Structure 1
Amino acid sequence: MPDFLSIMELALRILRALVAPLRLLSRGTDRPAPQRLLARLTRQALAGVGGCFIAVFTVTAHAAACPPSAIASLEKPGIGLRNGVDRGLLWRIERDGRTSWLYGTLHLGRGEWVRPGPTVQKAMAQSDTLALELDSRDDATVRALSQPADPAAVARVLSGERARRLERQNAEACVPPGSTARLPPILQVTALTALAARADGLYAEFGVDETLAVSARNSNKPIVALENAADQLRWLTGGSEAEEAEQIDAMLDELESGRLRGQLKTLADIWARSDAARLARYPEWCECLNTPAEQRLMKRLLDDRNPGLADGIERLHAGGRSAFAAVGALHMVGAQGLPTLMAARGFTVTPVLTEAQAQMALPMPPLAAPEPPARKAVRGGKNVKGQKAAKGTGQKATAKGGAKPASKAAAAPKGGKAAPRAAPKATNPKVRR
């Protein structure tokens, strides 16, 4: 089989708009507040790539055989967790007195992964630029991804039994006939690989790189693309119809056998545990380097791209920026991985999140009830004895024989307990280095 993990590394970002239409993202207030927040984040993430394609999947969420939509997954327990959990792979890189970051992402995600953990949040806050493989809101990117494929080329690649196999897989994934017909054939099949992960609670809408982009836009942090869409599409197709057709046949084999689902779930679990050592051994479990063709594909999708990504990160850093570079996790491992390439460029590279770890999160504690506001005299009405405000002061005047104004906390009645003080404001957890 070809290297599906690397293919998805490229394609999932530009396929997010095809997974679920914006109409599924209800603004209703019948959900708990954390779920409404995640729905809003999902809308923003989809809005970033919604114009990339003319064709949009219309997922029939009511059909019993169809996996739940991304928005429906927000109903599961755990979405209300207040403190995000550190996931993914993170390195600190330093040179010339400045610090930048390398963060290995996953282009699929779960609803409970939308909020980054404290270590990742702190690294993002200390950076002044977010560097991604692509900026989905860049005009040139949108134009490149909006171009329909050549119908004649699509017909040549998707002909005969290959077209029928694709049609059957679309039906199983609840994709309406013809909704992806204008996409390049390789993207039509890659879209199905993303949809296959829904049964295990993994959705392209919650892809880590895009949720980071939403966070950056909300804080007015600049986003810089390290690659361009035209090159990414060329890497995906392989440059020839014969090679594209070979990849499609192998991907359909994996979809029909169900093996792809297991691979995606394994990859997601490894990423969520920050298990860099297991990820680096992916040739042992991905079954993706068995033939010379698969090895060539791996080289094209990973090794050939990594030097360009490293050059872009180095340019940002040398230009005076502190960059948070978030790219697919498979770009981080191996002899040609980005940490190794940045060290060769004179950076001091320090692992931050690379060890397998247990995932823990703290539930949101109850909030302290606010104190009731002080009573004010009614303008134009009679003042109650002892309520008239003293001029030039912020306190009530004490009338003769009247009561003194209330202090910060009411005194406890005799024999009773004092009123509880408001809880102190929460502070951000310190990140250990």
Structure 2
Amino acid sequence: MIRAFLLGLLFVGSAHAACPPAPALPSVEQAATWAAKAPDRGLLWRISRGGHSSYLFGSLHVGKADWAYAGPALRAAWAQTEVLAVELDPADVGAVLAAMPKAPPLPPVLAQRLDIQARAACLSPGTLSALPAMLQLSMLSLMEARRDGFDAGFGQDVMLLARAKSEGRPVQSLESVEEQLLALEPEAAELPAIVDGTLRQLQKGQMREPLRKLATAWSRGDLGALANYPRWCACADTPAERAWLKRVNDDRNGPLAERVAALHGAGQRLLVAVGALHMSGPRALPKLLAEQGFTVEALLPAK
């Protein structure tokens, strides 16, 4: 969620042919058609405990323009809930990032390679330099995704947040900005290897295929493919990369489950929108919630 927020703040040039294309916003008529005819995408569970139900939606933080609209099952879940819970409300992000101390410098060689990639993405000089290294890489990855028509502004969690704000629906953050930043940043000893590996993917044009595969798996609700993500993402090939991926995904699931359980236990009927990779693996959110006494019923993909 931090990454999607930051992408909206980037100044992206478009004069050069090699620049990632800026997303084309739909017309009012297009948006109305897509909203009315949107199919079900992603993963959805009903979670019940204490005499009432909430819903758990596995979202994708990027999407295509026509993916951003809720299908019938998600619309029904919206109608049956009263609070939207997300990893992080972007409204919480700005002040914390503004007060964040400048990131420690990377080794000069890595900093230069990052700068080259930023220029290839047509970002203004210095746009990323104040951010932690992993957020810089996340921004560059999101810019690369634009070459295949994906954009953070079309992620369904972003659209759900916009709808909640327009309707005055309460929004609950399941994490703090500080917690997300801590999870995203590798240990100091691991950082150079992870930055190097991600830069190699970007420089060789190898970032796009795993993202396309991830997006397709999410769109189909293919939980098996999502569970195997570390095997095919080319982002977990070294011990440092595997340790970071575990920390940024699996290790966050326990606290996320506890906060969902606490909000639900307070009587709130929640629509919880969390990244789909948190729904897979040995510490998947649906499994952890079942261990906390929830009845967990899969709704999407439809059987």
TM bucket normalised to smaller: over 0.9
- Name the structure, 1 or 2, with higher relative contact order (CA <8 Å, separation 6+): 2
Which of 176, 192, 195 does residue 140 from structure 2 map onto?
192
Provide the rounded CA distance (Å) in 1 between the counterparts of 2:127 and 2:238.
33
Alignment of 1:300-339 (within 5 A): 300-339=247-286
How many residues were matched structurally? 300
Alignment of 1:140-289 (within 5 A): 141-150=93-102, 153-154=104-105, 157=106, 159-240=107-188, 242-289=189-236
SS in 2 for 1:74: coil
Provide the rounded CA distance (Å) in 2 between the counterparts of 1:206 and 1:244.
30
SS in 1 for 2:290: helix
For residues 124-182 of structure 1, the C-alpha deviation after alignment (integer angstroms, 9 at most, x for no partner) is 111111111111113xx43222234436x22xx1x322122112111111111112222
The percentage of counterpart residues that share the same residue type is 40
Provide the rounded CA distance (Å) in 2 between the counterparts of 1:220 and 1:337.
31
CA contact 2:84–2:164 (8 Å) conserved in 1: yes
Distance 1:275 1:202, change over 3 A: same
SS in 2 for 1:137: helix
For residues 78-101 of structure 1, the C-alpha deviation after alignment (integer angstroms, 9 at most, x for no partner) is 754332121111011111110111
CA contact 1:92–1:351 (8 Å) conserved in 2: yes
Distance 1:239 1:289, change over 3 A: closer
Give the letter aligned to residue 68 of structure 2.
Answer: V
Match of 2:39 in 1: 85
Match of 1:420 in 2: none
| Shift of residue 68, structure 1, vs aligned partner | 2.1
C-alpha RMSD of the superposition: 2.0
Asked if 1:128 is matched to 2:116, the reply is no
SS in 1 for 2:76: helix
CA contact 2:13–2:122 (8 Å) conserved in 1: yes
SS in 2 for 1:305: helix
| Shift of residue 298, structure 1, vs aligned partner | 2.5
For residues 244-267 of structure 1, the C-alpha deviation after alignment (integer angstroms, 9 at most, x for no partner) is 222211110110111111111111
Higher Cα radius of gyration: 1
Provide the rounded CA distance (Å) in 2 between the counterparts of 1:313 and 1:320.
11
Instruction: Please give the TM-score of this superposition, normalised by the length of structure 2.
Output: 0.92
